[in-house]
Amino acid sequence: MLVTFAHADPPKIGTVDMRALFERYHGTEEARKQHSLEQARVSRDNNERLARNRELEAELGRVRSQIDDPAVNESRKQQLFKDWQMRQQEALALNREREEFLQRRTRAMNEKMMQRMREILEEIRKMVEEQGREDDYDFVFDRTGLSTSQVPLLLYSKDAVDLTGKLLDRMNRARPSDGGEANGAGNGAGGVLSE
């Protein structure tokens, strides 16, 4: 048995830089663009709500100045004070609603982005696996991967071939052109973060 093992071919080992694959994959770029568009939409909605709150605060200031005006009679001041209290409660409720809206939308947007990032990593993992099978590699290691003690999993490998460039070419072959059409097989990245 030792003779047979000694004559066996050494394992064929490849490496990839998963960080580079993730960062330079067109699906990641598209997901980030969609996320930025969604952030802008949420920001625009929040600013509209904030503008309404500021209008109410300005109205409260005008009513308060009338209440403090010595020329206004006491019965009118009492009526203005009741009005001021109602508007203040409305302003507080609107501000609370705006804050809850912002938290809800930000949380949903971030969860959607995290889900898309997991999907992209799975797409990349499958492409690495397919490339490894096609090129008949016994092992393909992520040279950027870290162990639980934050030490690289692959410290050294003699004769390991870096497949990162080849995989980037393969992965980005399906990059949509400026017109939004794919140049090859489907890219799997469209419309992920839109509502």
Grouped pLDDT means (10 residues each) for the chain, 195 residues: 60 90 93 95 94 92 90 90 92 94 95 96 94 92 83 76 89 70 39 35
Round to whole Å and give the CA distance between 91 and 54. 9
pTM of the complete model: 0.68
Residue at token pair 């302003």:
91
Alpha-carbon 174 to chain mean position: 21
The beta strands (E) that lie in 19-171 are given as 139-142, 161-162
pLDDT at residue 5, as a whole number? 52
Domain assignment of residue 182, yes or no: no
Domain assignment of residue 143, yes or no: yes
The closest of 140, 111, 116, 145 to 127, measured between CA atoms, is 140
Alpha-carbon 181 to chain mean position: 23
Tokens matching residue 49: 């709500």
Domain assignment of residue 195, yes or no: no
Structural domain of 82: 10-172
Q: What are the backbone dihedrals phi and psi of residue 57, each rounded to the nearest 5 degrees, phi first?
A: -65, -40
Alpha-carbon 86 to chain mean position: 40
8 Å CB contact between 15 and 140: yes
Domain assignment of residue 159, yes or no: yes
Domain assignment of residue 179, yes or no: no
The helix (run of H) or strand (run of E) holding residue 13 is: strand 13-16
The closest of 16, 6, 8, 4 to 135, measured between CA atoms, is 16
Measured from the Cβ of residue 153, the count of other Cβ atoms closer than 10 Å reads 11
Domain assignment of residue 5, yes or no: no
DSSP 162: E
pLDDT at residue 186, as a whole number? 39
Count of structural domains within the chain? 1
Domain assignment of residue 26, yes or no: yes
pLDDT at residue 9, as a whole number? 80
Round to whole Å and give the CA distance between 69 and 63. 10
Domain assignment of residue 34, yes or no: yes
In terms of phi and psi (left: phi > 0; alpha: psi -120 to 50; beta: otherwise), the region of 151 is beta
Measured from the Cβ of residue 77, the count of other Cβ atoms closer than 10 Å reads 16
Instruction: Give the pairing of strands 161-162 and 13-16.
Output: parallel
pLDDT digits (tens, 9 = 90+) for 85-118: 999 999 999 999 999 999 999 999 999 999 999 9
